[in-house]
Amino acid sequence: AQSVTQLDSQVPVFEEAPVELRCNYSSSVSVYLFWYVQYPNQGLQLLLKYLSGSTLVKGINGFEAEFNKSQTSFHLRKPSVHISDTAEYFCAVSVRGTYKYIFGTGTRLKVLA
């Protein structure tokens, strides 16, 4: 069975500072990896995805993530955050050959002025 761990439930960071949101997964088979952002009372918006190829993935809003197979991680990073980045961020995995997502518990990013 697959699982996703987001170690940090909340991450406060000052505006213009860098941030890293951690995601580790467990799977015995190949997976696809995703990061989604959820603003209050809204659905999820795809930030970026790793399907294959380059392990460094660039997404929208200046975010990027790196797939590390040996460490089974897919950490999300942004070099300089804005107040508008305040939201809930979810990491998800999907087993190749199936279409189901398994979500992590989410990390609430709070950007402080």
Partner 1 sequence: GAVVSQHPSWVICKSGTSVKIECRSLDFQATTMFWYRQFPKQSLMLMATSNEGSKATYEQGVEKDKFLINHASLTLSTLTVTSAHPEDSSFYICSARIGGQGNIQYFGAGTRLSVL
Enumerate binding residues for partner 1 (CB under 8 A): 32, 34, 36, 41-46, 49, 51, 90, 94, 96, 98-101, 103-106
Q: For partner 1, give the closer residue by CB, 51 or 112.
A: 51
> Rounded to the nearest whole angstrom, what is the least distance from the CB of residue 99 to partner 1 in the complex?
6
Does residue 5 contact residue 104 with C-beta atoms inside 8 Å?
yes
> Rounded to the nearest whole angstrom, what is the least distance from the CB of residue 61 to partner 1 in the complex?
16
Q: For partner 1, give the closer residue by CB, 80 or 84.
A: 84
83 three-state secondary structure: helix
b/e map of 4-26 (b: 16 or more CB within 10 Å)? bebeeeebebeeeeebebbbbbe
> Rounded to the nearest whole angstrom, what is the least distance from the CB of residue 3 to partner 1 in the complex?
11
Q: For partner 1, give the closer residue by CB, 46 or 83.
A: 46
Please report the sign of the dihedral spanned by the C-alpha atoms of residue 13, residue 14, residue 15, residue 17. Answer: negative
Q: For partner 1, give the closer residue by CB, 58 or 96.
A: 96
> Rounded to the nearest whole angstrom, what is the least distance from the CB of residue 18 to partner 1 in the complex?
25
Ramachandran bin of 30, using left for φ above 0, alpha for ψ from -120 to 50, beta for the remaining angles: beta
One-letter amino acid identity for 24?
N
